[in-house]
Amino acid sequence: MTETAVVAVRGLTKRYGRVQAVAGLDFDVLRGQVCGLLGPNGAGKTTALRMLVGLIRPTAGEARIFDRLVRPGVPELARVGTIIEHASFVPHLSGMRNLRLWWEAGGARWEDADLEGALAVAGLGDAIERRVKTYSQGMRQRLGLARVLLGRPELLLLDEPTNGLDPQEMRAVRELLRRLSDAGVTVLLSSHLLAEIEQICSHVVVMDKGQLVTTGTVRDLLAVSTSAYFEVDDVETARRVLAAATGVKRVTDESPGLSVELDGAQRSALVTALVNAGVAVETVTARHQLEDAFLGLVGRHTERHIGKGA
Partner 1 sequence: MVRLIGTELKKQALRPRTWVALGFLAVVPIIIAVALKLNPPDLSRGREGARYFYLATQSGLFLPVAALRVMSGFFLVVVICMFAGDAVASEAGWGNLRYLLVRPVSRGRLLTAKLFVAAVFAVASTALVALSGLVAGVIAFGWDPITIPIPGLSQSTGDILGNLALAIVLITWGLAAIVAFAFMLSTMTDSSAGAIFGAVGLYIVSLILGQIDSLGSIRYGLPVQYYDAWSDLFASNKFTDDMWRSILLQVPYVIVFCGIAWWWFHRKDIKS
Ligand X SMILES: Nc1ncnc2c1ncn2[C@@H]1O[C@H](COP(=O)(O)OP(=O)(O)O)[C@@H](O)[C@H]1O
Using CB under 6 A, pick the residue from 9, 45, 65, 161 that binds ligand X: 45
Instruction: Restricting to residues 107-166, name those near partner 1 by CB under 8 A.
Output: 107, 147
> Which CB atom, from 107 or from 309, has the smaller least distance to partner 1?
107
Using CB under 8 A, pick the residue from 4, 19, 60, 106 that binds partner 1: 106
Residue 296: count other Cβ atoms within 10 Å of its Cβ. 15
The DSSP H or E segment spanning 34 is strand 34-38
Question: Out of Mg ion, ligand X, partner 1, none, which partner does residue 130 contact, by CB within 5 to 8 A per kind?
Answer: none
- The site that binds partner 1 (CB under 8 A) totals a number of residues, namely 33
> Which CB atom, from 85 or from 253, has the smaller least distance to partner 1?
85
Question: Out of Mg ion, ligand X, partner 1, none, which partner does residue 93 contact, by CB within 5 to 8 A per kind?
Answer: partner 1
The DSSP H or E segment spanning 145 is helix 137-149
**Cβ contact 3:156 at 8 Å:** no
Rounded Cα gap, residues 196 and 160, in angstroms: 10
The answer to whether 46 contacts Mg ion (rule: CB under 5 A) is: yes
The answer to whether 17 contacts partner 1 (rule: CB under 8 A) is: no
Question: Out of ligand X, Mg ion, partner 1, none, which partner does residue 101 contact, by CB within 5 to 8 A per kind?
Answer: partner 1
Residues 6+ apart with CB under 8 A from 274: 230, 232, 238, 241, 242, 281
Instruction: Restricting to residues 42-101, name those near partner 1 by CB under 8 A.
Output: 50, 53-57, 72-78, 80, 82, 84-93, 97, 101
Q: Are strands 5-16 and 19-30 parallel, antiparallel or unpaired?
A: antiparallel
CB-based burial label for 231 (10 Å; 0-12, 13-18, 19+): middle
- Using CA atoms, how far residue 235 sits from 1, 77, 193, 231, 265, in Å, is 50, 56, 30, 8, 19
Select from 35-43, 127-135, 270-278, 285-293 the region that touches ligand X (CB under 6 A): 35-43
> Which CB atom, from 49 or from 165, has the smaller least distance to ligand X?
49
Instruction: Restricting to residues 99-158, name those near Mg ion by CB under 5 A.
Output: none
CB-based burial label for 308 (10 Å; 0-12, 13-18, 19+): exposed
Question: Out of ligand X, partner 1, Mg ion, none, which partner does residue 44 contact, by CB within 5 to 8 A per kind?
Answer: ligand X
Instruction: Restricting to residues 241-270, name those near ligand X by CB under 6 A.
Output: none
Question: Out of partner 1, ligand X, Mg ion, none, which partner does residue 117 contact, by CB within 5 to 8 A per kind?
Answer: none
**Cβ contact 28:188 at 8 Å:** no
Which amino acid, one-letter code, is at 181?
S
Residue 234: count other Cβ atoms within 10 Å of its Cβ. 14
- Residue 44: closest CA among 276, 227, 207, 243: 207
Phi and psi at 48, nearest 5°, equal: -65, -45
Select from 8-16, 46-54, 60-68, 290-298 the region that touches Mg ion (CB under 5 A): 46-54
User: End-to-end alpha-carbon separation of the chain, Å?
Assistant: 35
> Which CB atom, from 163 or from 217, has the smaller least distance to Mg ion?
163
Question: Out of Mg ion, ligand X, partner 1, none, which partner does residue 21 contact, by CB within 5 to 8 A per kind?
Answer: ligand X
Contacts with partner 1, residue ranges (CB under 8 A): 50, 53-57, 72-78, 80, 82, 84-93, 97, 101-102, 104-107, 147
Contacts with Mg ion, residue ranges (CB under 5 A): 46
Contacts with ligand X, residue ranges (CB under 6 A): 16, 19, 21, 39, 41-47
